[in-house]
Amino acid sequence: MAAALGRPRIGVLALQGDVIEHVQMLRAVGADPTLVRLPRELHDLDGIVLPGGESTTMGKLMRRYELLTPLRALIRDGLATYGTCAGMILLADRVLRSADDQPTIGGMDLTVERNSFGSQVESFETDLNIEEMPGGPFRAVFIRAPRIQAAGPRVDILARLADNTPVAARQGSLLVSAFHPELTSDDRMHRLFLDVCKDNRGRLEQRLLAAQA
Amino acid sequence: MLERGTWTAKRGLAQMLKGGVIMDVVTPEHARIAEEAGAVAVMALERVPADIRAAGGVARMSDPGLVESIQRSVTIPVMAKARIGHFVEAQVLQAIGIDYIDESEVLTPADETHHIDKSKFTVPFVCGARDLGEALRRIGEGAAMIRIKGEAGSGNIVEAVRHMRQVTNGIRKLQSLLPEQLMAEAKELAAPLELVKEVHETGALPVVNFAAGGVATPADAALMMQLGADGVFVGSGVFKSSDPARRAKAIVEATTHYDNPEIIAEASKDLGDAMRGLEIAAIPEAELLAARGW
């Protein structure tokens, strides 16, 4: 584990999208962010963020540069992961309205519909109540956003729109939101993710110690 | 309460496109090639800029039916161009649910004095700029994204490099000024004071800035990225080359790995012929597209 007592080292998938926005927010909440474009950059991470952007572009570049297999293995082994918008699509086990031959990572028991609200003129902001999050409503920005159409029994839904559409969820160490906290100044989702990373690190270390004993 | 067309949502889509390549396409088939290559968006057009240049005459907004057929053929965002100042073309494009409007010098301007009042629209706009002042004027009118003008349809990167450096130099100069010098600089730039102050403080444009106008090779794309562009528009460069699918893929890879020469070298191999390209000095002054708009 990297920096066992120091700041958690969080990768940001940097093939395309709003990478810097996540980097800045991660830094602000006390993480040590690092960019991931190639498989060798996946080492010693306490967590990884899959940013907003075009899921088709990121999927194709992940396949071309052989990131899909190592990422799937890391996520299966418990790497804490936060996907925003396109990142949520990449983490979902089932994607509706995907492009032909669109590679994804998977790992979360979700059915997600891409670009589910319509074209850019339908993009919107709204106040959301996020489960167990102190500090009042969260100003959430949705851009050509995906929608969670179905979630398996291991998935906790963390937030819903007024019409009940689920837009944020957690499954163990995997966190997703259809909206973009990184476009606002509200860092509570990133703090939540950092807590997931830290819990996870503690658990993995215990497992390692148990294995050694 | 869902609030649409907010500044954050307009600017946000451009932020999602960063690090990516936006490709000009003239048919649904082109659009699918672009999507398959990993483009983050396509620009739907009747003709690529090199053909507009060759055809001459008045270049207008594309047939909405063509734009819709391209929208139906891909899942990535679709942009389209309106003439400078032609706000009704923009209204039409918004009505068919386009994702971004390019108020573009590639088309024949409809108004020599006024650009579109872009703040009135729900759909976001991208506009061309040659220097910091022009970029801030367009942002002042509501543009949520800027692109360097370069010289569209030339296949020659020299103008894009010039314009990118002009914007960067303008920002550096602003950062070096004292607060009491900002009004004089705003006058000099012919740009809104509030935006001048903002750039002075942040050292960056308030919106995403892509390169455009002359990108023909993977190395061209990486050059613009290293010069500070947030992403790249490729107009004629893909579909005027001998192997569009391959070149498109290579330009996408070089844009992502712009600071990795080994990967750019690998991506640049065996692409066939690039578009032929034009010496800027050989283009008659009246035909220079970058000079349209102000």
Contacts of B100 in chain A (CB under 8 A): 120
Q: Where are the alpha helices (DSSP H) in chain B?
A: 7-17, 28-37, 49-55, 64-73, 87-95, 132-140, 158-176, 182-189, 193-202, 218-226, 236-239, 244-256, 261-268
User: Which neighbouring-strand residues pair with A112?
Assistant: A95, A148
Separation of alpha carbons B239 and B252, rounded Å: 14
ipTM above 0.90, yes or no: yes
Picking from A20, A22, A57, A144 by the largest number of B CB atoms within 10 A of its own CB, the best residue to mutate is A57
Distance of CA B210 to the CA centre of its chain: 6
What does each of the 213 residues of chain A score in pLDDT, given as a tens digit? 444 458 999 999 999 999 999 999 999 999 999 999 999 999 999 999 999 999 999 999 999 999 999 999 999 999 999 999 999 999 999 999 988 788 999 999 999 999 999 999 999 999 999 998 999 999 999 999 999 999 999 999 999 999 999 999 999 999 999 999 999 999 999 999 999 999 887 777 787 788 887
* B4–A122 C-beta distance less than 8 A: yes
A44/chain B closest Cα distance in angstroms? 22
pLDDT at position A5 is 58
**What pLDDT, in 10s, does the model give residues B164-219?**
999 999 999 999 999 999 999 999 999 999 999 999 999 999 999 999 999 999 99
Separation of alpha carbons B219 and A159, rounded Å: 44
* A16–B20 C-beta distance less than 8 A: yes
Determine the Cα angle at A16 with ends B69 and B240, to 5°.
50
* B36–A100 C-beta distance less than 8 A: yes
Separation of alpha carbons B61 and B7, rounded Å: 25
Which one of B4, B36, B253 has the shortest CB-CB distance to A124? Answer: B4
Q: Which parts of chain B register pLDDT below 70?
A: none
Closest by CA to A176, choosing from A49, A51, A110, A82, is A82
A32/chain B closest Cα distance in angstroms? 22
For residue A158, the tally of other CB atoms under 10 A from its CB is 21
